[in-house]
C-alpha cells in the first residue's frame, strides 16, 4: 500500500477493487503518485478476487493535474527521461485486463483528465469539471491526452479543448462523450460506479479480458490487423471453462454460473 495511492476492496461488494488517490488537497499527480499508481494497477491486474476496478479520488476532487511545482524547474533533459515513466503510469491503468471505471467528483484536469481517459468508462458528478489546461503552461498534455481524447470524442473537438485549455462542465462532457453518465448533486459517484460494474462481477472474466484487448488493440492498427486479432482471441476463448459453461447454459435455457476460468 502506497502513501498516496492504495488498492482497496469493498467488504460489502466482493469483486470490486478501488484504486483510491489520497494526496490532499487536490490529488496532484507527482512522481510518487505516478509510481504508486503503476503499482496499484499491477496489483489489480494480478488479483483474481478483483473482477472490476474503480479509480476514485474522493467526493471533493478526482485529480487536478500534475504537480507543477515539481515540474517548474525541470528542463528538456530531465523531462525527456521522465516522460516515458509518466506515460507508463497511466498506461498501466489502461492495460488492466478488467473493466475500469473512473468515478469523477470535483476536478479532473490535466493529468487527472488523462487518468480518467485511461479508464474504460467515466462517471462524473453533475458539478464536475474536466479539461486539458496544459496549453496555458506553455506545454501540451503528456500522459495520453493528445492520443486518447481524439480517439474518444473525435479530433476536431479534442483539438478545441486542448488548444484552448478550457474547463468543460459535466453536462457538456456528457454531450461530447467525454463522460458516459452523470450523478446528481449530493449522490455518491463511488456508489454509482460500483452499481455500474455489477454485470461484470459475475461475468466471464476471460471473455471480458479478450473483448477489452480486441477493442483497444484494434484501435491502434488497420482493420485487417484488428480483424486478425479478434479472430485469434475469439478462437482462444474456446479453450476456457466459461465458454463451456455459457454455451451449455444457453442450450439448457439456464443462467450461466461463470467461474472466470
Residue 213, C-alpha cell as written in the block = 484487448
Catalytic residue among 70, 85, 114, 230: 114
Q: What gap in Å lies between CA 78 and CA 58, rounded to an integer?
A: 32
Q: Which of 8, 43, 134, 241 is catalytic?
A: 134
The number of CA neighbours under 13 Å toward the Cβ of 145 is 29
Cα–Cα distance, 212 to 208 (Å, whole number): 6
| SS3 (DSSP) at 19 | strand
Residues 62 and 152: their CA atoms lie apart, in Å, by 20
Half-sphere exposure of 82 (CA within 13 A, CB side): 14
Residue 134 known to be catalytic = yes
Say which residues have a Cβ less than 8 Å from residue 207's Cβ, sequence separation at least 6: 237, 240, 242, 243
Which helix (DSSP H) or strand (DSSP E) does residue 117 occupy? helix 111-117
- Could you list the beta-strand ranges (E) of the chain: 5-10, 13-21, 52-56, 100-104, 107-109, 121-125, 129-131, 168-169, 181-183
Q: So which residues are the catalytic ones?
A: 114, 134
Amino acid at each position: 500500500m502506497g502513501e498516496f495511492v492504495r488498492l482497496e476492496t469493498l467488504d460489502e461488494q466482493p469483486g470490486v477493487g478501488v484504486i483510491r488517490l489520497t494526496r490532499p488537497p487536490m490529488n496532484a499527480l507527482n512522481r510518487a503518485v505516478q509510481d504508486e499508481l503503476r503499482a496499484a494497477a499491477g496489483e489489480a491486474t494480478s488479483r483474481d478476487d478483483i473482477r472490476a476496478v474503480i479509480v476514485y479520488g474522493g467526493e471533493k476532487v478526482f485529480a487536478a493535474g500534475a504537480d507543477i511545482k515539481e515540474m517548474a524547474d525541470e528542463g528538456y533533459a530531465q523531462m525527456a527521461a521522465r516522460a516515458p515513466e509518466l506515460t507508463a503510469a497511466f498506461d498501466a491503468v489502461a492495460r488492466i485486463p478488467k473493466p475500469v471505471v473512473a468515478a469523477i467528483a470535483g476536478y479532473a484536469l490535466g493529468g487527472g483528465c488523462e487518468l480518467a481517459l485511461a479508464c474504460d468508462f467515466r462517471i462524473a458528478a453533475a458539478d464536475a469539471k474536466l479539461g486539458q489546461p496544459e496549453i496555458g503552461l506553455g506545454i501540451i498534455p503528456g500522459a495520453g491526452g493528445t492520443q486518447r481524447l481524439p480517439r474518444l470524442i473525435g479530433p476536431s473537438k479534442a483539438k478545441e479543448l486542448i488548444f484552448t485549455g478550457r474547463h468543460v462542465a459535466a453536462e457538456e462532457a456528457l454531450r461530447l462523450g467525454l463522460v458516459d453518465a452523470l450523478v446528481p448533486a449530493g449522490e455518491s459517484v463511488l456508489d454509482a460506479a460500483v452499481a455500474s460494474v455489477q454485470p461484470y462481477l459475475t461475468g466471464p472474466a476471460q471473455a471480458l479480458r479478450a473483448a477489452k484487448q480486441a477493442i483497444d488493440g484494434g484501435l491502434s492498427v488497420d482493420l485487417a490487423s484488428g480483424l486478425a486479432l479478434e479472430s485469434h482471441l475469439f478462437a482462444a476463448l474456446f479453450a476456457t471453462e466459461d465458454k463451456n459453461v455459457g454455451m451449455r447454459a444457453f442450450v439448457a435455457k439456464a443462467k450461466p454460473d461463470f467461474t472466470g476460468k
